[in-house]
Amino acid sequence: MAEPSFDVVGIGNAIVDVLAHAADAFLASEGLTKGAMTLIDAGAAKDLYEKIGPAVECSGGSAANTIAALASLGGKGAFVGKVHDDQLGEVFRHDIRALGVAFDTPPDDLGPPTATCLILVTPDAQRTMQTFLGACVTLGPKDIDEGLIAASRVTYLEGYLWDPPLAKQAIVKAAKAAHAAGRMVSLSLSDPFCVDRHRAEFLDLVNHHVDILFANEREIMSLYRVGSFDESLQAVRGHCKIAALTRSEKGSVVVAGDEIHVIDAERVPRVVDTTGAGDAYAAGFLFGITAGRDVAVSARIGSIAAAEVIAHLGARPETSLKALIEKRFG
């Protein structure tokens, strides 16, 4: 088998984030579900945008953020996702390619505009996301290059991909190609409400197709419909090779066969915006694993990457994660 060209290929929704500060009272008055990702249509996105304060625009998307952070760590990444041929699509394309990530999914020139996610950051640094999927709804099997999948150590899928209608066929094609080539498949559960929408499919995936699972506490509890973190931990044991479960300031717990590691969170002087914390953790973990590190060190790299991202506004690293890791691990 040829040496893989990429450490990780991410498949996900290609989104430009629109970040603004907001008060809790605003979330309440708009009926927004704090901390969650909610899908909205073009009209609702326009209406909400009219009401929010001045914003900044940054490239986002869960798996895309992970691949961006992986590249910042020095890993070799590729990304598959659909933008429109418009100004925000160009922003997305530029930002991910500027990190050295291979991104060759052709943009749509017909159909809806590039996806945007209105992210409201409350004073407690929590983020509440309203996503208009735009061009992401056209991602389909034709966009999956089996050669690219076979050339990547890990194929990483975001749970949010189960929302756009055609993407499921793309996922199935990608997962099959990965396993046929002897590669690993990784899944992030993305959001507890997303788990609610697709629980049966996620359970089937975790039981039969996923090698490395990422979930936060609320997501893994939602997957197994249990009332405590420990119950979800016991439920996931044995169902996939590795499960990396994140718990915000409580750190993370990694289950890998018989091994269980409980890893502390990195200390952050001031948490500014938690957007992208899980994405960055997954990047650090996958960077470690694909570089041959053990799961405990990989989890620590994940924690360091997450700590960088939550210390500023926006989901992608602002400093070189490679330099941060070298300082810590040499």
Strands 56-59 and 242-246: unpaired
Q: Is 23 in the site for a second copy (CB under 8 A)?
A: no
Q: Is 42 in the site for a second copy (CB under 8 A)?
A: no
Q: How far is the CB of 87 from a second copy (least distance, A)?
A: 4
Shorter beta-carbon distance to a second copy: residue 68 or 243: 68
Q: Is 50 in the site for a second copy (CB under 8 A)?
A: yes
Please select the residue that binds a second copy; options are 24, 35, 44, 49, rule is CB under 8 A.
49
Burial 141-151 (b: 16+ CB within 10 A, else e): eebbbeebbbb
Task: List, in sequence order, every beta strand (DSSP E) within the chain.
Answer: 6-11, 15-21, 37-39, 56-59, 77-80, 102-103, 115-121, 127-132, 152-158, 184-188, 212-216, 242-246, 252-256, 259-263
Q: Is 77 in the site for a second copy (CB under 8 A)?
A: no
Site mask for a second copy (CB under 8 A), range 288-307, x = bound:
--------------------
Give the range of 95-103, 182-190, 212-220, 280-288 binding a second copy by CB under 8 A.
95-103
Please, what is the Cα angle at 68 between 92 and 118, to 5 degrees? 50
How far apart are alpha carbons 57 and 16 in whole angstroms? Answer: 7
Shorter beta-carbon distance to a second copy: residue 24 or 211: 24
* Residue with token string 């749509």: 108
Q: Is 105 in the site for a second copy (CB under 8 A)?
A: no
How far apart are alpha carbons 105 and 64 in whole angstroms? Answer: 13
Q: Is 54 in the site for a second copy (CB under 8 A)?
A: yes
Q: Is 223 helix (H, G, I), strand (E, B) or coil?
A: helix
Q: How far is the CB of 288 from a second copy (least distance, A)?
A: 23
What does the binding site for a second copy look like in residue numbers (CB under 8 A)? 49-50, 52-59, 68, 86-88, 91, 94-96, 98-99, 113-114, 314, 316
